[in-house]
Amino acid sequence: MARVCQVTGKRPITGNTVSHSNIKTKRRFLPNLQTKRFFFVEEDRWITLKVSSEAIRTINKNGLSAVIKEMRANGTKI
Protein backbone atom coordinates (compact mmCIF):
# COMPACT_ATOMS: atom_id res chain seq x y z
CA MET A 1 0.00 0.00 0.00
CA ALA A 2 2.77 2.38 -0.90
CA ARG A 3 2.01 6.03 -1.68
CA VAL A 4 -1.65 5.79 -0.68
CA CYS A 5 -3.20 7.86 2.10
CA GLN A 6 -4.86 5.61 4.67
CA VAL A 7 -7.56 8.17 5.51
CA THR A 8 -8.52 9.83 2.24
CA GLY A 9 -7.32 7.18 -0.23
CA LYS A 10 -5.30 9.66 -2.25
CA ARG A 11 -2.89 7.96 -4.65
CA PRO A 12 -0.54 9.02 -7.46
CA ILE A 13 -2.13 10.34 -10.64
CA THR A 14 -0.61 10.69 -14.10
CA GLY A 15 -0.30 13.69 -16.32
CA ASN A 16 2.07 15.43 -18.67
CA THR A 17 5.16 17.54 -18.25
CA VAL A 18 4.86 20.26 -20.88
CA SER A 19 8.08 21.85 -22.06
CA HIS A 20 8.52 25.35 -23.43
CA SER A 21 8.29 23.92 -26.96
CA ASN A 22 5.01 22.19 -25.97
CA ILE A 23 6.48 18.66 -26.02
CA LYS A 24 4.51 16.47 -23.63
CA THR A 25 6.08 13.63 -21.65
CA LYS A 26 4.33 11.45 -19.09
CA ARG A 27 4.91 12.05 -15.38
CA ARG A 28 3.38 11.14 -12.02
CA PHE A 29 1.93 13.53 -9.49
CA LEU A 30 2.59 12.06 -6.03
CA PRO A 31 0.43 12.90 -3.00
CA ASN A 32 2.00 14.76 -0.09
CA LEU A 33 2.23 11.80 2.31
CA GLN A 34 3.61 11.91 5.83
CA THR A 35 4.11 9.05 8.28
CA LYS A 36 2.58 10.38 11.49
CA ARG A 37 1.96 8.97 14.94
CA PHE A 38 -1.27 9.86 16.73
CA PHE A 39 -2.17 9.05 20.32
CA PHE A 40 -5.55 7.32 20.37
CA VAL A 41 -6.96 8.19 23.81
CA GLU A 42 -9.93 5.78 23.67
CA GLU A 43 -7.60 2.76 23.36
CA ASP A 44 -4.66 4.35 25.24
CA ARG A 45 -2.12 3.60 22.48
CA TRP A 46 -0.16 5.21 19.66
CA ILE A 47 -1.31 4.69 16.06
CA THR A 48 1.03 5.20 13.10
CA LEU A 49 -0.71 6.26 9.90
CA LYS A 50 0.54 7.19 6.44
CA VAL A 51 -1.59 10.26 5.76
CA SER A 52 -1.71 13.16 3.35
CA SER A 53 -1.53 16.74 4.54
CA GLU A 54 -5.27 17.05 3.82
CA ALA A 55 -5.94 14.05 6.08
CA ILE A 56 -3.94 15.66 8.91
CA ARG A 57 -6.19 18.72 8.62
CA THR A 58 -9.27 16.46 8.64
CA ILE A 59 -8.05 14.73 11.81
CA ASN A 60 -7.42 18.10 13.45
CA LYS A 61 -10.90 19.31 12.49
CA ASN A 62 -13.06 16.23 13.19
CA GLY A 63 -10.95 14.49 15.83
CA LEU A 64 -9.00 11.24 15.66
CA SER A 65 -11.76 9.07 17.12
CA ALA A 66 -14.29 10.17 14.48
CA VAL A 67 -11.83 9.50 11.65
CA ILE A 68 -10.86 6.07 13.08
CA LYS A 69 -14.54 5.17 13.47
CA GLU A 70 -15.21 6.07 9.84
CA MET A 71 -12.15 4.12 8.65
CA ARG A 72 -13.26 1.03 10.56
CA ALA A 73 -16.75 1.36 9.10
CA ASN A 74 -15.16 1.24 5.64
CA GLY A 75 -13.31 -1.96 6.55
CA THR A 76 -9.79 -0.67 7.26
CA LYS A 77 -7.97 -2.60 9.98
CA ILE A 78 -6.29 -0.36 12.55
pTM of the model: 0.85
pLDDT recorded at residue 25 = 98
Helices 64-73, 53-62: axis angle to 10 degrees equals 110
pLDDT recorded at residue 2 = 87
* Number of separate domains in the chain: 1
CA distances to 3, 13, 21, 26, 72 from 16, in Å? 19, 10, 13, 5, 36
- Return the SS3 of 11: coil
Name the residue range of residue 23's domain: 13-73
- The closest alpha carbon to 58, from 36, 29, 28, belongs to 36
State in Å, rounded, how far the first CA of the chain is from the last one: 14
CATH number at residue 36: 2.30.170.40
36-64 pLDDT, tens per residue?
A: 999 999 999 999 999 999 999 999 999 99
Is 6 contained in some domain?
no
